[in-house]
Amino acid sequence: MKATETPPVVAATEPAPVSKSKPPAPGGKEKGSEGQVLNVFSHGVLIIWAILVVLPLLWAIMSSFKNDDSILSTPWALPDKLHFDNWSRAWSQAHMSDYFFNTILVVGGSLIGTLLLGSMAAYVLARFDFPGNRFIYYLFIGGMSFPIILALVPLFFVMNNMGLLNTRHGLILVYIAYSLPFTVFFLTSFFRTLPGSVAEAASIDGASHTRTFFQVMLPMAKPGLISVGIFNFLGQWNQYMLPTVLNTDPKYRVLSQGLVELANSQGYKGDWSGLFAGLVMAMLPVLAAYIIFQRQVVAGLTAGAVK
């Protein structure tokens, strides 16, 4: 018998899959071009804003190292010689050292008091429900919309009756009252974003409300405290109206009053170089504080936006 030969099996070749390309979405190129135009426009606006902010600052620093003739004749030229005597003259002869010392005491004391009292009030309003909670919260918000200029006359007589005029501690109390509404408003929203389970765990472990606040919740609110502290520092450092009305004694004048006195110290002549030196002295602490804490400021402003 002959063995039957099996015909060779030919493997069936499957047709290669045909890639189907999706048709381009209608208007895709138009949306991309619109996004590029918007991106270029936004960057252009930011560049213009940066130039408007940086140029006056650089001009003031440059003018602080010139003499009066160079400032008036060639205001945009670089100084031919660095006149460091402008800084020493503004610091000693114009009594900027005394004004600087008074400002540090007043702003430092008011900033500590504002953050302490504001954080305590904000924590209670954010974490505890009691009758009148919302009413007290709206009172603080109403304080933000009240113009301080309307309260200057009655505030003057109240401070005078209490014996707090022309004193550092009186100005500290006024600064605290002036800054509390915004501080409570800001920190109340911040404390609401913090997890309440942490405070509950601390209370289960036997911690009192005071210990829970100072050792648990307050460290967690550090970004918010730094952010609102920077804003209060800027407002209190540059405050001019309140110390001018409530502090007429030259012994307790603050830096903003000192700059005005320096501008008017020599009548029509004017010590322009000393004025620019004093102006830069007043700006340096604010710039240093913002440069050091800029990351914490951004973190505090964006905290709670995305959970």
Q: Are residues 223 and 196 part of one domain?
A: yes
What band does 257 get if pLDDT is binned at 50, 70 and 90? confident
Residue burial 175-197, b: 16+ Cβ < 10 Å; e: rest: bbbbbbbbbbbbbbebbeebeee
Tens digit of pLDDT for each residue in 164-218? Answer: 999 999 999 999 999 999 999 999 988 998 888 888 888 888 889 899 999 999 9
- Cα–Cα distance, 1 to 289 (Å, whole number): 105
Position 227 in a domain: yes
pLDDT score of 107 more than 50: yes
Residue 23 lies in a domain: no
Output the six-digit token pair for 185: 């408003």
Quick one: pLDDT at residue 6? 46
pLDDT tens, position by position, 43-93: 899 999 989 989 998 999 999 999 888 888 888 888 888 888 888 888 887
User: Which of 83, 116, 142 is the endpoint of a domain?
Assistant: 83
Residue of 6 and 220 predicted with greater confidence? 220
Residue 170, domain CATH: 1.10.3720.10
Question: Domain total for the chain?
Answer: 2
Nearest CA to 107 out of 254, 213, 303 is that of 254
Residues 145 and 264 reside in one and the same domain: yes
Same domain for 232 and 143? yes
**Closest among 50, 193, 67 to 127, alpha carbons compared:** 193
Question: Long-range CB contacts (< 8 A, 24+ apart) of 189-196?
Answer: 189/126, 189/304, 190/122, 190/221, 190/224, 190/300, 190/303, 190/304, 191/122, 191/123, 191/126, 191/127, 191/217, 191/221, 191/224, 192/126, 192/304, 193/303, 193/304, 193/307, 194/220, 194/221, 196/127
Q: Are residues 56 and 147 in the same domain?
A: no
Residue 23: the pLDDT is 55
Indicate whether 103 belongs to any domain: yes
**Could you tell me if 148 and 277 lie in one domain?**
yes
Report the share of the chain in percent with pLDDT over 70: 83
Residue 3 lies in a domain: no
Q: Give the pLDDT score at 110.
A: 96
Residue 18 has pLDDT above 80, yes or no: no
Name the domain boundary from 62, 83, 104: 83
Residues 204 and 263 placed together within one structural domain of the fold = yes
pLDDT at position 300, please?
A: 63
In a domain, 9, yes or no: no
Question: For the segment 143-165, what is each residue's pLDDT rounded down to a tens digit?
Answer: 888 888 888 999 999 999 999 99
Q: Shortest CA distance to 219 belongs to which of 236, 202, 232?
A: 202
Q: Using the Cα atoms of residue 180, residue 183, residue 188 and residue 189 in order, give the sign of their dihedral.
A: positive
Query: What average pLDDT does the segment 261-267 reach?
Result: 69
Percent of the chain with pLDDT over 90: 36
Residue-level length of the chain: 307
| Among 26, 50, 83, residue at a domain's last position | 83
In a domain, residue 172? The reply is yes
Whether residue 67 is found in the same domain as residue 104: no
Print the domain residue range for 129.
Answer: 95-302
Is residue 117 located within the same domain as residue 176?
yes
pLDDT at 223 over 80: yes
Can you tell me the distance from the alpha carbon of 186 to that of 300, in angstroms, rounded to the nearest whole number? 10
Same domain, 41 and 108: no
- Whether residues 151 and 68 share a domain: the answer is no
Would you state the structure tokens that stand for residue 284, as one six-digit string? 């340096």
Identify the pLDDT of residue 199. 86
Q: Is the same domain home to 226 and 107?
A: yes
What pLDDT is recorded for position 197? 87
Residue 127 lies in a domain: yes
Q: What is the mean pLDDT of the chain?
A: 83
Claim to verify: residue 60 and residue 147 sit in the same structural domain: no
Which tokens is 262 given? 């320096």
The answer to whether the CB of 178 falls within 8 A of the CB of 117 is no
The band of 119, judged by pLDDT with boundaries at 50, 70 and 90, is: very high
Residue 267 lies in a domain: yes
Q: Which pLDDT does position 80 carry in this prediction?
A: 84
